Amino acid sequence: MKNFNISFSLFRTRFLLVVLAMLSFSACKTLRTNLENRKESKQYSTNSQWADGSHLSDKERVEFEYHFFNANKEKILGNYDLAESLFLQALRINPNNAATLYELANIYAFQNNKRNALIYSKKAAQLDPKNTWYQLLYIECLKEDKQYQEVISVYQKLLKEYPDHIEYYYEIANVYLVLNKANEAIKMYDEVEKRVGVTDDASMQKIRIFKATNNFDKALVEVQKLIKTFPKEGKYYGILGELYQGNGQSEKAFAAYYDLLKLNPEDPYAHLTLADYYRNQHQRDKAFDEIKIAFKSKELDINTKVKILLSYYSITETYAELKSDADELCKIIIEVHPDEAKAFSIYGDFLYRDKKLEDARIQYRKAITLDKEKYALWNQLLIIDSELNDFVSMQKESKEAMELFPNQALPYFLNGAANIHLKDFNTAVASLNEGKEFVYDNEQFLSQFYANLGDAQNQLKNYIASDSAYDKALELDPKNSYVLNNFAYYLSLRNIKLEKAEAMSKKSIEIEPNSSSYQDTYGWILYQMKKYDDAKLWIGKAIANGGSDNGTLLEHYGDVLYKLNDIENAIKYWMDAKKAGGTSDFIDKKIADKKLYE
């Protein structure tokens, strides 16, 4: 038999009640009489407060009242340790005072002192068996101690006093389910039905139990009772259909779903239920038609539609033929919910996954116009800007994101990158310096900040700051091939620290051996070190490795050939470099004068 996981509703919130503070220990006969006349009260009866206290002297009675009242005052103020001490002093004067025992049990339960809570709550419950609150606290302490049979026993005693308290039957049923005594739980739900008639709570619990124990016939009886009692409640027809469907009775299942639709033809949940039926019958087209009807209804909330689309997102990873269905549902959702950012963002997610970057960006931008406060939307938009190499949009939109989310690092990083590409190096430096302060526990990302700072500062000819930034980037990520290459190249252009540059460049090639750009850097450093034959070898590799239309590489190769006294071929490569573009300012002069200028 299955183990039913039923969560109990704890009464710990009651531990903070200030009920006793509302009581008066005065000799007011009228109030005392009123309290005694109440069969069941949320306040304590006079008898329970003074249990076995008739023997107290006047002095002891006054002293007891003093400690008891002050204990309640400290409890109200949240001073539980002091309240405990005062209650204990009161208990020493009157050891069998149920109210004092109850209050101490409350404090111990609140402090998770399960042992003492159980001891004191048990004694309070025994001293005043008709006090509901004492019994309920005792029950909660028994539950904490997993004494479930005793829990049932105490509830049954309460039912003898208060047989109309329906919630007690439910609580007993819950305990029986914890004990895997499903039949006993059913008896409790039947008792509820005898007393108050057919109810959703009791019948649904019985249906769950019957389904879990594969008792189709009894589950069917319960559902039919619900339909008879509540003939206009659509969900019961859906449950009936599920039962029939699970039992292989497809025609009866369809009839139940059809009744559901007759009850409310516009109910989107009815159409979703029917869609499930068709899907189980492997009638995909009909199932999809029902889903579309549901999606076109404004009565179906946006969150439910998004959940359905998320299931499509997962399944279309495997079944690509369903992508057109998902696309159609996305278009419906933005048409029906034009004021919901979620509608556009979920469509953007599908488009982005399918590499439709421009279309995805349109959807994210629409979502942002409806809800600018969702950082996830900006994050996705900026990533698309960067993937499209749209540095103008990236600069503008990252700046907006920085203003809206000043503690998010990515907008600063992309703003810096955009401004570097747009040659606004001062703004790039400012953004990168500010943004790196918001990078936490991500050394590689922080390394990228310093890498871009190195690039920007180099362009500003702030070489000390540039070198420092590159060093910091490599300290954080020693295998950052991008930094190794750039740092080495810029050192070679300045013709300084060439040994360090050579070591870094060589390391970058070891990390990415097929990068023509890195091979050119290494060759150029060797050129600066006057190792012309080696330089020719490496720059030649770079050209052969996809750099044949790169003006910088071709010009470098021409320079190396010139140094090797191959003037004719040097001029040829310079001319090819000029055609390719991206050369130095000396290229025309080199060609015209047939001479190397640096």
DSSP string covering 363-405: HHHHHHHH-TT-HHHHHHHHHHHHHTT-HHHHHHHHHHHHHH-
Question: CA 109 to CA 142: how far, in whole Å?
Answer: 11
Residue 467: what residue type?
Answer: D
Cα–Cα distance measured from residue 436 to residue 433, given in angstroms and rounded to the nearest whole number: 6
Average pLDDT of the segment spanning 261-286: 88
Q: Give the count of beta carbons closer than 10 Å to the beta carbon of residue 170.
A: 19
pLDDT at 23 over 80: no
Asked whether residue 142 carries a pLDDT value surpassing 60, the answer given is yes
Checking if the pLDDT of 21 tops 90, the result is: no
pLDDT interval class at 26 (50, 70, 90): very low
pLDDT at 254: 87
DSSP letter assigned to residue 436: G
* CA distances for 560 relative to 166, 531, 553, 556, 570, angstroms: 96, 9, 11, 6, 8
Query: Which of the residue ranges 252-256, 381-385, 466-470 would you say has the lowest mean pLDDT?
Result: 252-256
- pLDDT at residue 102 tops 60: yes
Q: For 235-260, how does the pLDDT look when each residue is reduced to its tens digit (9 = 90+)?
A: 898 899 889 988 888 889 888 888 88
Q: Nearest 5°: CA angle at 392, between 390 and 395?
A: 105
On the question of pLDDT at 50 being above 60, the answer is no
pLDDT for 28 beyond 60: no
Q: How far apart are CA 542 and CA 161, in angstroms?
A: 94
pLDDT for the residue numbered 48? 43
Give me the percent of the chain exceeding a pLDDT of 70. 91
Average pLDDT over residues 535-554: 92
User: 516 with 547: CB under 8 angstroms?
Assistant: yes
Mean pLDDT within 367-383 = 97
Average pLDDT over residues 494-512: 95
Whether the CB-CB separation of 124 and 105 falls below 8 Å is answered with yes
**Cβ atoms of 520 and 500 closer than 8 Å:** no
The DSSP 8-state label assigned to residue 55 in this structure reads: T
Residue 6 has pLDDT above 50, yes or no: no
Residue 364 CB partners (closer than 8 Å, separation 6+): 344, 345, 348, 377, 380, 381, 384
Amino acid at 485: N
Lowest mean pLDDT among 142-146, 336-340, 391-395, 424-428: 142-146
Residues 6 or more apart whose CB falls under 8 angstroms from that of 574 comprise 554, 555, 558, 587, 590, 591
Q: Does pLDDT of 42 surpass 70?
A: no
The predicted pLDDT at position 36 comes to 34
- Whether the per-residue pLDDT at 596 is higher than 80: the answer is yes
d(C-alpha 345, C-alpha 61), whole Å:
71
What average pLDDT does the segment 196-206 reach? Answer: 94
Which has the closest alpha carbon to 486: 453, 513, 444, 514?
A: 453
Does 524 have pLDDT greater than 70?
yes
Nearest partner of 303 among 247, 345, 246, 259, judged by Cα: 345
Over range 195-203, report the average pLDDT.
94
Q: How many other β-carbons are positioned within 10 Å of the β-carbon of residue 338?
A: 11
Give CA–CA dist 381/379, Å, rounded. Answer: 5
* Average pLDDT of the residues in 564-593: 93
d(Cα 409, Cα 431) in Å, to the nearest integer? 10
394-428: pLDDT as tens digits: 999 999 999 999 999 999 999 999 999 999 999 99
Q: In the chain, pLDDT over 90 holds for what percent of residues? A: 78
pTM: 0.67
CATH architecture of 1-145: Alpha Horseshoe (1.25)
Q: What is the arithmetic mean of pLDDT over 148-176?
A: 93
Looking at residue 53, its pLDDT comes to 61
Local confidence band at 54 (pLDDT 50, 70, 90 cut-offs): low
Confirm if 95 and 113 have CB atoms less than 8 A apart.
no
- Euclidean distance between CA atoms 571 and 481, whole angstroms: 32
pLDDT single digits (tens) 293-319: 999 999 999 999 999 999 999 999 999
Q: Is the pLDDT of residue 31 over 60?
A: no
| b/e per residue 390-410 (b: at least 16 CB within 10 A) | bbebbbebbbbbbeebeebbb
On the question of pLDDT at 456 being above 80, the answer is yes
Local confidence band at 274 (pLDDT 50, 70, 90 cut-offs):
confident
Range in 34-48, 225-239, 348-362, 557-571 the model is least confident about: 34-48
Question: What is the pLDDT averaged over residues 329-343?
Answer: 97
**At 73, is the pLDDT very low, low, confident or very high (cuts 50, 70, 90)?**
very high
**In sequence order, which ranges of 264-408 are alpha helices (DSSP H)?**
268-280, 284-295, 302-315, 323-336, 341-353, 357-370, 375-387, 391-404
Residue 440 contacts by C-beta under 8 Å, 6 or more apart in sequence?
Answer: none
Nearest CA among 154, 157, 128, 117 for reference residue 52: 128
**Residue 132 carries which side chain, given as an amino acid letter?**
T
Q: Would you kindly state where each structural domain of the chain is located, as residue ranges?
A: 1-145
Structure tokens at 275: 């869609």
